[in-house]
């Protein structure tokens, strides 16, 4: 790793401090793709609601997010079997008009006429109506197809979503866990049939998981879709709170996964990942930044990123996330980050 002089580190830190107010103002006006709404650079993911957070905890986090300028709240019908949507809707209350709600359909809810979910016309409409009720709202700002079901023709799903947009129940539509080819296919279907186009793509993307750069990102740039990264902190690995050869602290996500699904925890905590995290941490320290700065600032320096979806269980995490979103890498730091994160 090349040595970064103290002078370089101080210059970097000073530059960040000087531009921070302007960066925050710019971040508040990011757009969700070329045709979507304005969104905050940091979005709040709510998959903890109904799982690790109860209603009171969710309300505290939601209000802290709004107070810190976050305008995009991401949820899904399957999070907490509907509890996440219910808690989000209740927590927002009168502040609903100040934010955008993005939810998802397609996952199995084991209820109604379409218990397995999916993208059929009936399943899309049933899921959307149920989400509207749980969220206590009359419109969903961004309705996202959580994951393609592998059997429903994409034109059927798009026609159902288009009908919901025309009824005023959905404002914009997005997809999640699609690849580049499917994104292009859906755009062509929408263009050929005069249907509503997707405006966003939500996929796993971070300093440590960059697979989508080879396929989905070029498609999003071609089509004008805004990318919404989920797991930007790799379940906490990019916060620095997990150490090699140490068990995850009780109450953390990876501690829970280590007990319930060790194979999932191993995807985040392994020697290869720890080696990269340790190198990134050292580089951050040399440059006067933090690992969290790297996680948010690196993503937000990429023009196709609309908003970084990150969960939180307490207000202090939201404050740290918003602060780190102001940081941007210099060309030299960005090149070194690439060298570390692209290594096998």
Catalytic positions: 79
Contact predicate 106/137, CB 8 Å: no
List Cβ neighbours of 167 (8 Å cut-off, separation of 6 or more).
Answer: none
Beta bridge partners of 64: none
Nearest C-alpha neighbor of 91 from the set 118, 67, 60: 60
Contact predicate 309/230, CB 8 Å: yes
Rounded Cα distance, 237 and 251, in Å: 15
Beta bridge partners of 101: 73
Token pair recorded at residue 136: 């206590």
Q: State the DSSP string of 115-158.
A: TT--SSHHHHHHHHHHHHHHHT-S-EEEEEE-S--SSS-HHHHH
The three-point CA angle 280-303-30 to 5° equals 110
Contact predicate 228/309, CB 8 Å: yes
Nearest C-alpha neighbor of 117 from the set 82, 65, 85: 82
Q: In degrees rounded to 5, what are phi and psi of residue 70?
A: -75, 130
Using DSSP, state whether 316 is helix, strand or coil: helix
């Amino acid at each position: 790793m090349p040595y970064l002089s103290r002078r370089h580190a101080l210059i970097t830190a000073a530059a960040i401090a000087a531009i921070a107010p302007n960066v925050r103002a710019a971040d508040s006006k990011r757009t969700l793709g070329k045709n979507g709404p304005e969104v905050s650079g940091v979005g709040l993911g709510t998959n903890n609601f109904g799982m690790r957070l109860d209603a009171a905890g969710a309300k505290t986090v939601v209000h802290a997010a709004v107070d810190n300028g976050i305008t995009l709240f991401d949820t899904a019908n399957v999070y907490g079997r509907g509890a996440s949507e219910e808690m989000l809707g209740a927590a927002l209350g009168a502040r609903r008009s100040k934010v955008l709600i993005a939810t998802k359909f397609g996952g199995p809810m084991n209820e109604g006429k379409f218990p397995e979910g999916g993208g059929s016309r009936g399943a899309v409409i049933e899921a959307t109506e149920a989400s509207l009720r749980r969220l206590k709202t009359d419109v969903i700002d961004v309705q996202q197809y959580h994951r393609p079901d592998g059997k429903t023709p994409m034109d059927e799903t798009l026609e159902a979503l288009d009908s919901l947009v025309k009824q005023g129940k959905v404002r914009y539509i997005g997809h999640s866990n699609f690849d580049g080819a499917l994104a292009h296919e859906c755009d062509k279907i929408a263009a050929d049939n005069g249907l509503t186009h997707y405006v966003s793509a939500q996929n796993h993307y971070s300093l440590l998981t960059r697979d989508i750069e080879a396929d989905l990102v070029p498609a999003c740039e071609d089509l004008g879709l805004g990318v919404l990264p989920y797991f930007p902190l790799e379940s906490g690995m990019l916060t620095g709170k997990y150490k090699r050869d140490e068990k995850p602290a009780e109450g953390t996500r990876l501690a829970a996964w280590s007990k319930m699904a060790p194979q999932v925890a191993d995807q985040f905590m392994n020697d290869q990942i720890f080696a990269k995290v340790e190198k990134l941490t050292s580089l951050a320290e040399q440059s006067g930044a933090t690992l969290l700065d790297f996680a948010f600032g690196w993503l937000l320096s990429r023009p196709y990123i609309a908003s970084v979806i990150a969960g939180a269980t307490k207000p202090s995490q939201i404050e740290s996330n918003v602060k780190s979103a102001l940081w941007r890498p210099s060309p030299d730091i960005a090149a070194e980050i690439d060298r570390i994160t692209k290594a096998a």
